[in-house]
Amino acid sequence: MISSRRKTAAVLAALAVTVTLAGTSAASASATEHREAHKPAVASVTGSATFELPYWKDKDVRSFSFDAHGAPYTHALPGAPQGLPFDAEGTVKVSHHSADQNVTHTAEGRVDCLVTGPHTATLTAVITKVSPGGPDWVGKRIGFSVSDGGKGERDRVGFSWNGLNLDDKGQDVPVGTCMAPAPYAPVVKGGYTVKHAELPAPPWKK
C-alpha cells in the first residue's frame, strides 16, 4: 500500500510538471505572438548613403537616398486593374558630384515597385525632376538594389545605368518594374535599412 504522504507527493510532482509544461507552452506562444506582432506590415527601404564604384576609382561623390514603402494592390495596370503585390510608393534621390567639373547633378523620382528578401531589396522609380545639366531622365524608370549589411557587413547598392542595362547593340533599354542588377557597389558613408515583409495575397483572396 502506498502511504497517503507518498500519494500526495506524487500528485504534487505531477502538478509541477503540468504547470511547467503549460508555462513553457504559454511562453513559446507568447514569443511567437510577439514576433508576429512586430513583423512589418509592408516592406520598406530607407536611408541615405554615398558609395564607390569598385571598378572605377575616382574622386566623384555618388549618393542615393531612399524612402520607399510597399503599397500592395494600389496601382492599376492593364490586366491588373486592382494592382499587384509589388506596388510601392515613396521617393528616391540621386546625387552625383563630378570632381573634374566641380558640379553636382541631382534627380528625384517616384517609387512604383518594391520587392524585398531578408536584408535585400530591389526597387524602381520614375524620375520626376532633374537638375539643370543633368541626364535626360524625366519620365524614365530607373532601378536600384540594396543590401543591408547590418552590423557585420558593409551596405551595398546597385543601379540600372552606367552600362548595366544595354541591348546587344550597346543601347540603353527601358527598365521594367523592380528590375535592377545585384548590389555591387559598397557604401562608404551612411547606410540603409531594409525591412522585409512577405508579399501579401490579394485582399479578395483572404
What are the tens digits of pLDDT across the range 153-180?
Answer: 899 999 999 888 899 999 989 999 999 9
With beta carbons less than 8 A apart as the criterion, state whether 125 and 64 touch: no
Q: Among 117, 114, 97, 116, which residue's Cα sits nearest to residue 105?
A: 97
pTM: 0.79
Query: Cell 544595354, residue?
Result: 166
- End-to-end alpha carbon distance in the chain: 61
pLDDT computed for residue 21 by the predictor: 41
The low-confidence residues of the chain, meaning pLDDT below 50, are 1-2, 8, 11-22, 24-25, 27, 31-32, 34-38
Provide the 10 A C-beta neighbour count for residue 201.
11
List Cβ neighbours of 135 (8 Å cut-off, separation of 6 or more). Answer: 105, 107
DSSP 204: G
